[in-house]
Structure 1
């Protein structure tokens, strides 16, 4: 624990509380959050694609010029499609999320079975099973899951991020109090 964190534990606590509240807001409005996420990704794709096109034309002599050009055009078209129709983008991202969870879950379950005699294998099996079930729930609820899945996942992530700052703040506060007690060296 650095002295700066100990001295400013209240700021870490405030950040954590704000993130938890923000995560709850995202979860409370999952459709709006999912569409907002899709729009941000659309903007990143369009901007990234434009930069990639600029870069491709600045190194025309490079053997990867054509592939970089194609990749940039695809990113711009994909980002534009998501921006033009955020519901489509949200649906597409939801399917990608479901696929990632399913593949990750299967991978973690298989990995846990390889580790089976070692301590901790059960935690990996549990995590893999949860990922697999989450992916299947999202997939089998599709297209309805497009209205809630992205917002829920992002909201949960923000809440856990907030709780991590709260934990850091409370630990720093305990260290600060210990430093202030008489006889502390």
Structure 2
């Protein structure tokens, strides 16, 4: 720990500050971040589709050649559509996320009711209801929610990661100070 903690703790803190700053920028312009992310998803789908096609032709004698080929073509077409229409693509992504939240929230509510005899079961119910409500609200506010959701999620991830890196760096600094005190 001593070699990592030395003066390197500051690098973790700086990484955290940079991440928080980028998260704040993403939060301020969540729509642009959403659209840019959707285009990047499209590029990644096209790359994945190209690899899928190469894989299909490299293993042509494999029993699933046609399915592998079809999957590669679908990836490429889907990626092209995301690049061509990032706003529509972000709405589709938001529909998927909202459906997942609705289903996940409903399942947690059922699990909570099935385990009513356990203390604290209502916390799972509360979490499930919150997740369900968020999913319904996202779906109900389409297409608008599709424009800001992905960018906002990216902003939140950057900010939370930044806070984590700062905490980690400061913990390394405190740990280094404790180790140095003990060695004297």
TM, length-normalised to structure 1: 0.89
2:26 matched to which residue of 1? 26
Alpha-carbon spacing, 1:109–1:20, altered in 2? closer, same or farther (3 Å): farther
1:170 matched to which residue of 2? 170
Alpha-carbon spacing, 1:57–1:36, altered in 2? closer, same or farther (3 Å): same
User: Does the residue aligned with 1:148 lie in a helix, a strand or coil?
Assistant: helix
Query: Deviation digits for residues 46-84 of structure 1, max 9, x if unmatched?
Result: 010011011001101001111111111111001001111
Alpha-carbon spacing, 1:5–1:57, altered in 2? closer, same or farther (3 Å): same
CA RMSD of aligned residues (A): 2.0
Give the total of aligned pairs. Answer: 183
Alpha-carbon spacing, 1:140–1:70, altered in 2? closer, same or farther (3 Å): same
Q: Is contact 2:2-2:179 (8 Å) kept?
A: no
Report whether the alignment pairs 1:84 with 2:79.
no
Q: How far did residue 104 of structure 1 move?
A: 2.1
Report whether the alignment pairs 1:9 with 2:9.
yes
Alpha-carbon spacing, 1:58–1:151, altered in 2? closer, same or farther (3 Å): same
TM, length-normalised to structure 2: 0.89
Q: How far did residue 114 of structure 1 move?
A: 4.3
Alpha-carbon spacing, 1:161–1:114, altered in 2? closer, same or farther (3 Å): farther
2:40 matched to which residue of 1? 40
CA distance in 2 between partners of 1:61 and 1:119 (Å): 57
Moved more, 132-141 or 39-48: 132-141
